[in-house]
Amino acid sequence: MQAHNDKTVPYPLLLYVKLLAATNRYYLALAALLFVVASGALYYGVNAALRHEVDEQLGNQRQLIAALVQAGQPLRPTPFEDQLRVSSHPRPLGLADTLLPDPHEHTLVPCRQLTFQLRQDGKMMWVTLRKSLVETNDILVVVLGVMLGVVLLLLAGVLLLNRWLSGRLWGPFRHTLAALRHYDLQQHRPLVLPTPSIDEFAELNQAVMHLSQRLVADYESLREFTANAAHETQTPLAIMQAQLEQLLQVPALAHDPTAAPLLADLYGATRRLSRLHQALALLSKIENRQFADAQPINLAELLGEKTGQLAPLLEARNLHLHLHLGPTPALRMHPGLADSLVHNLLYNAIKHNQPGGDVTVRLTGEALEISNPGPAISGDPSRFFERFRKHHAAAESPGLGLSIVQQVGAYYGFGITYRYAAQGQRHTLRVAFRPVGPEGRG
């Protein structure tokens, strides 16, 4: 269990943007858009209002001048020469924008001018009134500046508020997430989550708790089903086997030489059936992850023990055993599964061997390799691990051994690879205690 928890699974959510960042992005976009629109509207609005004001002032001055002229007063030149210009040549009438050199700053400054006709002493005159727009521009700048400042402050405020809120409001969510991530169905306990004050999170927690309760219940019933199915099937098998064995003891069998072998075959078949059943029950137990308690396993010791147990088989087939036990890797496994793994690997190497061949076991800190000679096997190597896969159609074994190897490997995150070397005709099964990455496959 430990081993497969330690396997770091990149959490897919991390690849995506955080919710806060995403909302902030939208806030920013909206604020920028509003700012542009509002700035534009403000600029044109204020600009129009100011020009209108300037135009009005120019109009007032015109009326004042006209009234003065009508009253017969002479049109005196003003000290601000550029603000009033009188010309005897015709000029375009009405309001207009113009640029005039500023005497102090020696630059061109935008101005508004109003030209009108006056008749003084029977002579036509064209009077141009001018007013600089520099002041109104200054006002615009200030207004827009203030506007920008306020918007920036608002944005900063929103960001900070959001950050603070996410720390505070999303706390329960993070708590739930952490609880889910560390949730282990093997413990047979439903999740217990607090009820946060925020409705949505409370609902979420309730839904998650409900889900975990159902998971636990389903898991339990599945477990019970497997156990019961195993129990219920093994009992009739046990009865059959025991009674057949008793039947073989009946003295009357001696009178009919054909009866006893029939019974013996039946006995053998019963035995095979129960063996098959055990293997399937084991596979389903592994798939249901019902082997939670891992213990430190000394693989070298286990290999020694298992090869000792299988020695008669090796001997009977005239196979040589080569054990190369290097530094034992520190493994934590369920003892039953470790036993199954080693047994099935060795057994497989013995079964698919050739007379006078060998079984070579190589254990290092990283991997366990078991190899044996034998003719090439046709077919896709990856399918050797499938259930009921047999190398020979007539083989007596149901072909579950390598499936068990693979399942145990998958359970602990071991990388299991099969290799066939045409030169020397050797089959090698390698169990890498660290999962094999794509670059490590060779």
CB 392 within 8 A of CB 374: no
Q: Which is nearer to other proteins, 14 or 254 (CB)?
A: 254
Does position 428 interact with other proteins (CB under 8 A)? The reply is no
Using the rule CB under 8 A, which residue among 192, 316, 393, 394 binds other proteins? 316
Using the rule CB under 8 A, which residue among 249, 393, 441, 442 binds other proteins? 249
Does position 96 interact with other proteins (CB under 8 A)? The reply is no
Does position 219 interact with other proteins (CB under 8 A)? The reply is no
Least separation, in Å, of the C-beta of 415 and other proteins? Answer: 25
Does position 243 interact with other proteins (CB under 8 A)? The reply is yes
Instruction: Report the 10 Å Cβ neighbour count for 419.
Output: 13
CB 343 within 8 A of CB 392: no
How far CA 84 is from CA of 99, 111, 323, in Å, comes to: 15, 12, 114
Q: Which of residues 340-379 bind other proteins (CB under 8 A)?
A: 343, 347, 350-351
Residue 331, both tokens: 């493994």
Does position 384 interact with other proteins (CB under 8 A)? The reply is no
Residues in the interface with other proteins (CB under 8 A) total 49
Does position 220 interact with other proteins (CB under 8 A)? The reply is no
3-state helix, strand, coil in the chain (%, to 5): 55, 15, 25
Q: Which is nearer to other proteins, 128 or 403 (CB)?
A: 403
Stretch that binds other proteins, among 82-90, 152-160, 265-273, 407-415 (CB under 8 A): 265-273
CB 346 within 8 A of CB 306: yes
**Tokens 């063996």, located at residue:** 275
Q: CA 435, CA 442: separation in Å to the nearest integer?
A: 14
Roughly what angle, to the nearest 10 degrees, separates helices 134-169 and 19-70? 160
Least separation, in Å, of the C-beta of 16 and other proteins? Answer: 42
Residue in 123, 407, 166, 200 with CA at minimum distance from that of residue 289: 407
What is the SS3 assignment for 95-122? EEEEEEECCCCCCEEEEEEEEEEEEECC
Q: CA 3, CA 291: separation in Å to the nearest integer?
A: 12
Q: Which is nearer to other proteins, 32 or 311 (CB)?
A: 311
Q: Which is nearer to other proteins, 190 or 398 (CB)?
A: 398
CB 114 within 8 A of CB 62: yes
Using the rule CB under 8 A, which residue among 43, 126, 267, 418 binds other proteins? 267
Least separation, in Å, of the C-beta of 323 and other proteins? Answer: 18
Residue 216, both tokens: 């636990």
Does position 334 interact with other proteins (CB under 8 A)? The reply is yes
Q: Please report, as ranges, the residues that interact with other proteins according to CB under 8 A.
A: 227, 230-231, 234-235, 237-243, 245-246, 248-249, 257, 260-261, 263-265, 267-268, 270-272, 274-275, 278, 281-282, 285, 309-313, 315-316, 334-336, 343, 347, 350-351, 396-397
